[in-house]
Amino acid sequence: MFEAVLLTVITAATPLLIAAIGELVVERSGVLNLGVEGMMIMGAVIGFAVANQTGSGTLGVIGAIAAGMAMSALFGFLVLVLVANQVATGLALTILGLGLSGMIGEAYIGVPGLRIPELYIPILSDIPFIGPVFFQQDAIVYIGFALVIGVAYFLFRTRAGLILRSVGDNHGSAHALGYSVLKIRFMAVLFGGACAGLAGAYMSLAYTPQWVENMTAGRGWIALALVVFASWLPFRVIIGAYLFGAVSVLNLHAQAIGLGVPSQFLSSLPYLATIGVLVLISANRRLTLVNTPACLGKPFVPDR
């Protein structure tokens, strides 16, 4: 029973982890992209469509990443080149993604999906309990952890990561030193879009291998909250993602054992938990300001 619960938590936490780590890099560069939900849902529908048409889950994942990057490129062009309002543009991106995905996915409703296969590691995968939980997941689960490690190393152990953080903290000084603020931010936005698209692919090719309209169900917003929960630190994102993943599957197991709690209330728990965590973090102003990029959400217009 415990093994089944843990496996469910892993599948629920993985898309949150991947989307949040991508948004963390975006915000570290000083850009606030509220369109994570729209990029995720586009990744989900394009990933499902490509996998269905080609019969390849790998191509489906690549298509989903490309879809997320295309959406993020549109966002980047609007907010970095045309200096549009980041909040309004991010919200518009989410609305666009939800509407466009519904139109594209209409032909795939009820179509059997293609599940990404789980990896099998000889000997290790056969260990009772430990094997299925740690060594018998699909590749995207391991990619999620690799992304966290890679992002943490990049941000705090490389010169390029230091430059990206400096752009997020003081874009004027970074520009004065000769760094291309817009280029660095655009690359960060593309990375965030790729991660959101990958998270969407996990939703439609692994978590529930089918296409259902609006199947991300607000996970993009939870991923945004996770970045704040983690105080913009990569390894804390893992804690937050698995915490919220556990809350999100609580309703399924609570209904299975017949607790008698209304299913509507249990379904709202992840979002209630998100609000509660944000309220607690906001109450501690020092904690909020410790790692918050100083130029987050502020537009940058280079001197002509």
Residue 138: helix, strand or coil by DSSP?
strand
Nearest to 144, CA basis, from 6, 274, 22: 22
Supply the CATH classification number for the domain 2-290.
1.10.3470
73-78 own/partner pairs: CB under 8 Å, 24+ apart:
73/189, 73/190, 73/193, 75/33, 75/35, 75/189, 75/193, 76/31, 76/185, 76/186, 76/189, 76/190
**Residue 239 Cα to chain centre, angstroms:** 14
Average pLDDT by stretches of 10, the chain with 304 residues: 79 95 98 97 97 94 98 97 96 97 93 88 81 88 96 97 96 94 97 98 93 92 91 92 83 65 70 76 70 92 73
Question: So what's the pLDDT on residue 165?
Answer: 96
| CA 95 – CA 89 distance, rounded (Å) | 10
Question: So what's the pLDDT on residue 288?
Answer: 67
**Residue 20 Cα to chain centre, angstroms:** 4
Question: So what's the pLDDT on residue 257?
Answer: 66
E strand intervals along 37-125: none
| CA 37 – CA 19 distance, rounded (Å) | 9
Question: So what's the pLDDT on residue 253?
Answer: 66
Question: So what's the pLDDT on residue 134?
Answer: 84
Answer yes or no: are the C-beta atoms of 27 and 87 closer than 8 Å: no
Question: So what's the pLDDT on residue 256?
Answer: 63
For the chain, the structural domain boundaries read: 2-290
Residue 118: helix, strand or coil by DSSP?
strand
